[in-house]
Structure 1
């Protein structure tokens, strides 16, 4: 068997030392699955060792910077200045240690407490206006990393799938505070986690409904980002929110891989290695991810999947119109 090119795995809910275990790195290297490793504030020794071990194994190695939850965790216009300062310091430190990554992956999501409120449909969740200069701070960070001397660093984005439904008004991007279209990312991986879509729908969508939504999202992603397009699949294990629904078995992961590849997306990233290691055997998950062929055809839309797409499109237009009205009044 030959593994698909462009496969990577998110490593968030797993310690750096556990990722560096020889059996884990060997299994990833055998399947040519690269690493995208979370880096929160704290000691760096294990991350540095992991970077060197990955290089020795011939694995691609990207660093996924994160702040503490109290600072929002992921990148958005709300914490852009603080996030950018952290990334610059992190890159300089890794460079001094001889562990400079080939890529920085920036996860574009609202601050974690706000996202929890959104997913819980909590209308009372506090919502401050987005800072006006947050997008400029992130653009400057990406520009500086890509033009870094003497070693440029690629910069990728993890993207919430709602932004695929934006038109030129960028309604969801503004509402979420996650600038996608205004930044020249080297790669964009849209997080189409079918288990989460099904789980957070609270019974409104079933597996048969989210399969065509995955197919549509992959087609939209390929059309929007072209050669830079990628899709993140999952979830095998729970993430930082703690209430994420997960795949029932490796068969669902294989099904998602088959759909994504049939839709023309080969650059795939799996969430997450912690789930893979926590639901043994890890080889079953990694094989499903690495060795699944494209589906012979894409799944047909269901009435629920059509209704969901229409609802999201309508919301994008409303948010875009509201943003345009605010700018005119301002």
Structure 2
């Protein structure tokens, strides 16, 4: 069993605390970055605190450009991926970020973009194909059927890794059993080798996302996914762990 961590706001992460809690444990983290220079700066800062933290890149755009990557982005925005060539990177394949979040508006936003045909999907796919010749890429997206996410720029290739979100905190209480049933019966059997991200531990870019109430709640999701044969779990997010306490980190480390 492997573990990986997303860090959307490295400036909010208490890296000293994480380092102290880790002791000699090694972890891999992907930090959100707006440029190669931004990534290099954070990698240098983090490595100075703890050499055992592998720091990889999670390219993002400005919110005006879409924040995440998809065929809805301009070609110029997609071209910013070139600067990360040669690194280990995670690319989010998601429609442009909405202005605000709550469950119903999120479902409306998702439904709207499922029905649309973006202009630059083929351009994004060509960019990914070019990058993957010398870049280790994780494509991350929603746990939807392939034909849907392909519209946005997702693609299937043996040289790519894949991550899907299992963010149970977003799911209203009355739908949680149905959500797990969907994952168990209709999604995981076709994505056994994928990374699966659990969360949320800390709030994301909207600031009002639902988060786990306790490490025990997160542990139930971990146990469910382990039982279903998931080999690599991703924890979103490391800054939330640093803010909420060492028990959150130790719960994530228990999976190995």
Per-residue deviation, residues 164-193 of structure 1 (Å, max 9, x unmatched): 4x5xxx2x336xx53334455622111010
Paired position in structure 2 for 1:14:
10
CA distance in 2, matches of 1:24, 1:146: 31
- SS for the counterpart of 1:138 is helix
Paired position in structure 2 for 1:110:
95
Within the candidate set 230, 233, 247, 1:284 is matched to 247
Higher RCO, Cα 8 Å, sep 6+? 2
- SS for the counterpart of 1:10 is strand
Listed as ranges, the matches of 1:300-315 within 5 Å are none
CA distance in 2, matches of 1:221, 1:80: 31
- SS for the counterpart of 2:98 is helix
Listed as ranges, the matches of 1:217-296 within 5 Å are 217=183, 220-227=186-193, 229-279=194-244, 281=245, 283-292=246-255
- Relative to structure 1, the CA distance from residue 140 to residue 55 in structure 2 (aligned partners, 3 Å threshold; closer, same or farther) is farther
Paired position in structure 1 for 2:164:
190
CA distance in 1, matches of 2:107, 2:187: 27
CA distance in 2, matches of 1:119, 1:272: 20
CA distance in 2, matches of 1:261, 1:122: 31
Per-residue deviation, residues 63-104 of structure 1 (Å, max 9, x unmatched): 110000011000111116233311112x26xxxxxxx63x11
Paired position in structure 1 for 2:58:
64
Contact 2:19 2:50 in 1 (8 A): no
Per-residue deviation, residues 143-166 of structure 1 (Å, max 9, x unmatched): 22221xxxx2211111112x14x5
CA apart distance, 1:14? 3.2
CA distance in 2, matches of 1:218, 1:25: 35
CA apart distance, 1:112? 0.4
Tell me, which stretches of 5 or more residues in structure 2 are unaligned? Answer: none
Contact 1:157 1:185 in 2 (8 A): no
Listed as ranges, the matches of 1:116-131 within 5 Å are 116=101, 118-119=105-106, 121=108, 130-131=117-118
- SS for the counterpart of 1:15 is helix
Contact 2:43 2:55 in 1 (8 A): no
Within the candidate set 130, 135, 159, 1:144 is matched to 130
Contact 2:69 2:93 in 1 (8 A): yes
- Relative to structure 1, the CA distance from residue 42 to residue 28 in structure 2 (aligned partners, 3 Å threshold; closer, same or farther) is same
CA distance in 1, matches of 2:109, 2:152: 20
- SS for the counterpart of 1:112 is coil
Q: If you compute each CA radius of gyration, which structure gives the higher value, 1 or 2?
A: 1
What is the aligned residue count? Answer: 252
Normalising by structure 1, we get a TM-score of: 0.66
Contact 2:4 2:233 in 1 (8 A): yes
Contact 1:190 1:230 in 2 (8 A): yes
More strand by share: 2
RMSD: 3.3
- Relative to structure 1, the CA distance from residue 144 to residue 28 in structure 2 (aligned partners, 3 Å threshold; closer, same or farther) is farther
- Relative to structure 1, the CA distance from residue 291 to residue 129 in structure 2 (aligned partners, 3 Å threshold; closer, same or farther) is closer
CA distance in 1, matches of 2:158, 2:166: 21
Tell me, which stretches of 5 or more residues in structure 1 are unaligned? Answer: 93-99, 199-204, 294-330
